[in-house]
Amino acid sequence: MADLNEMTKLVEENRVHKSVYLEPEIFDLEMDHIWGKAWVFVGHDSQIPKTGDFYTTEIGRSPVVMVRAKDGEVHVLHNRCGHKGAKVAGKKCGNTAGFRCPYHGWSYKLDGSLIGVPNRKGYSDTGFDIKDPQFSMTKVASVANVRGFVFASLSADVPSIEDFLGDTIRTINNVADRAPEGEIEIVGSPLRYEHDCNWKMFVENLNDSMHPMVAHASVGSAAKSYLADQPEGTVYPREAEIIFPFGSSYEFFDKMGVTALKYGHSYMGGQASIHTGYSDIPGYMEAMEASYGTERTKEILSQNRHNTIIYPSFTLKDAIQAMRVVRPISVDKTIIETWHFRLKGAPEEMLKRTITYSRLINSNASMVGPDDWDCYRRMHEGLTSSSAEWVDMRRGLGEDAEPVDGGGERSFGTSDISFRNQYRVWAKYMKTGAENA
C-alpha cells in the first residue's frame, strides 16, 4: 500500500478502487499527501474579532490555533509547545494575552514566538536559543485570508491561494457580497456531526444530485401528506419551502448543471439552484440596493451556486448562510462541522431562515442528514463484499463537458464528472503533493 505509485492504479477513468475508502494505510497517506499539502479551511476571522481571541482546530492531524494578534493580524500557529510538545491551548476558543503551556510554563506571544522560559539558567551552554523556531509555536507554513475565510496549508510548497481557489473564489465573494455591508459574521457554536464513513463519501455526495429525490424522498412525502391534511388556504410554511426542493426532478438538477474545476473543486448550478425559489425577506433588497445599487444587487443575487466544494475540506452555498467543514478522523470516521453566519446589514430574518434550514437539513437530528449518513454507512457495509473491487463513476462520460468561462468544465447536473475530477486530483496529490495537483 505504502508504495505511492500504487496509488495512481487505484483510480481509472470511470471508476475507483474500493480501497480508497477502506484502507487505513491509504488514509494515513492522505493525511500527509492531501491534508498535509492542500489549502485547508481553518476558520473565519469573525470568530476571533478582538486581539487575543483564539480558536483551536486541526489541519489533518496537526492541532493548530487561529489567533488575532496585537496588530490585528490573524495567525495560524501549530498548537504544540516548543519544549516537550504538549498541546498548549486546550479550549475550543477563548481570549488570552499570550499562550502559556501548562506543563512547565513556557510562554509565547500571540504570534507564537517564545518569550518566557522558567528557570532558564538550566539551558546555559546547551545551544538553547529562545529565538530558535524549534522552540516556538511555529507558524503554519502557508496562510491566506479571503474575505475573512482563513485557509492554511501545512506545506510551504503550494500554489497561490488565487490559483488554488480558481473560480470558487466567486462563491466566496458572492457569499460575502450578499451582505449589504460586504462582510459576514459567524454566529454561535457549530453543529458537530459524527459520520461513520470515509471523508470522501461525504465530499462526493455534495455534488451528487442523483440522490436527493431518492434518499430524501421520505421527508418530502411526509410534508406533503401533512399539508394535504390542512384546511384550505393554510399558509405555506417556510419549512416546506426548504424541504420540497430536495424532491426536485432529475430534469431540474440536470439543467442546474455541475462544473468541475482545478484542484478537485466543483459546484452545482450557477444561475439557478434549489434555493432560487426562496421567497424574499422583507427589507433585504432595500438594504442591498442601498449598499450596491440596483444593478450590482441584481448581479450579486443572480449568482446561485449550490454546494461549492473547495476540495478537500470545505463547502458552502451562495444563498444559505451556512458552511460545512470536513474533519477526517480515521478511515471510517469523519466529523462534519456546520457553521452559520450573519450577513452584516441584512435583516435578522435572513439568519433565522438559515438557522431553520440548517436544523432541518444538517442537524444530526434532522430528517435529511441521517439519511445521507445511512447511505455512506451502507457503502462501507457493501464495499467489504468480496464480490467487487471497484466503485463505478462513469455517469456522464458519454457527453463532452463544455468549458466554462472562469475555468472548469460544465456537464449536466447528475453527471459523475465531479467525482471523476476529485479522484483525478486525488491521485495526483497522492503521488506528488499539491504543487502539481
Partner 1 sequence: MHNASSVSREDMLLIENFLYQEAQYLDDGDLENWMSLYSEDGVYWMPASPDQTCPLTEISILYEDKLLMDIRRRNLGHPLAPSMEYPVRGSRILGNVHLAADQPGGDAIRIASKFHAQLYYREEVTHFAGRYSHDLVREENSFKIVHKRVDLINADGVQRNLLIYI
List of residues contacting a second copy (CB under 8 A): 14, 18, 32, 36, 60-63, 78-88, 90, 102-105, 118-119, 122-128, 134-135, 138, 140, 154, 208, 210-211, 214-215, 250, 254, 371, 374-375, 378-379, 381-388, 390-392, 394-399, 412, 414-415
| 338: contact with partner 1 by CB under 8 A | yes
Q: Please report, as residue ranges, which positions from 43 to 82 form the binding site for ligand FES (by CB under 6 A).
A: 81
Q: Which three cell numbers stand for residue 107?
A: 510562554
User: E strands along 243-366, which residues?
Assistant: 258-260, 266-270, 304-310, 314-316, 322-330, 333-343
Total residues binding Fe ion (CB under 5 A): 1
SS percent in the chain: helix, strand, coil, step 5: 35, 25, 40
| 86: contact with ligand FES by CB under 6 A | yes
| 45: contact with Fe ion by CB under 5 A | no
Of the candidate residues 42, 101, 322, 368, the single one contacting ligand FES (CB under 6 A) = 101
Of the candidate residues 167, 337, 372, 416, the single one contacting Fe ion (CB under 5 A) = 372
80-88, 92-100, 288-296, 372-380 -> range binding Fe ion (CB under 5 A): 372-380
Q: Which is nearer to partner 1, 60 or 159 (CB)?
A: 60
Give the C-alpha separation, 104 to 310, whole Å: 40
3-class secondary structure, 85: coil
DSSP lists the bridge partners of residue 374 as none
In the complex, what is the shortest distance from the CB of residue 222 to a second copy, in angstroms, rounded to a whole number? 16
Q: How many CB atoms lie within 10 A of CB 225?
A: 9
In the complex, what is the shortest distance from the CB of residue 153 to a second copy, in angstroms, rounded to a whole number? 11
Of the candidate residues 36, 112, 148, 190, the single one contacting partner 1 (CB under 8 A) = 190
Q: Which is nearer to ligand FES, 39 or 106 (CB)?
A: 106
CB 95 within 8 Å of CB 52: yes
Give the C-alpha separation, 419 to 206, whole Å: 10
In the complex, what is the shortest distance from the CB of residue 246 to Fe ion, in angstroms, rounded to a whole number? 7
Q: Which residue, 329, 193, 319, 192, is CA-closest to 268? A: 319
| 351: contact with partner 1 by CB under 8 A | yes
In the complex, what is the shortest distance from the CB of residue 379 to ligand FES, in angstroms, rounded to a whole number? 7
From Fe ion, a second copy, ligand FES, none, which one binds at residue 123 (CB under 5 to 8 Å depending on kind)? a second copy
Give the C-alpha separation, 165 to 298, whole Å: 24
3-class secondary structure, 282: coil
Q: Which three cell numbers stand for residue 50?
A: 478582538
103-111, 241-249, 267-275, 298-306 -> range binding ligand FES (CB under 6 A): 103-111
DSSP lists the bridge partners of residue 336 as 193, 326
CB 285 within 8 Å of CB 297: yes
In the complex, what is the shortest distance from the CB of residue 43 to a second copy, in angstroms, rounded to a whole number? 18
| 83: contact with ligand FES by CB under 6 A | yes
3-class secondary structure, 232: coil
| 106: contact with ligand FES by CB under 6 A | yes
3-class secondary structure, 289: helix
CA–chain centroid gap for 388, Å, is 31
Burial of 283 (0-12, 13-18, 19+ CB in 10 A): middle
From partner 1, a second copy, Fe ion, none, which one binds at residue 386 (CB under 5 to 8 Å depending on kind)? a second copy
Closest CB to Fe ion: residue number = 372
Give the C-alpha separation, 359 to 225, whole Å: 21
Q: Enter the DSSP assignment of 389.
A: -
Q: Which is nearer to partner 1, 154 or 360 (CB)?
A: 360
List interacting residues with ligand FES (CB under 6 A): 81, 83-84, 86, 101, 103-106
List interacting residues with partner 1 (CB under 8 A): 90-91, 102-103, 187-194, 214-215, 217-219, 221-223, 225-226, 237, 239, 243, 335, 338, 340, 348, 351-352, 355, 358-360, 363-365, 367, 369-371, 373-375, 377-378
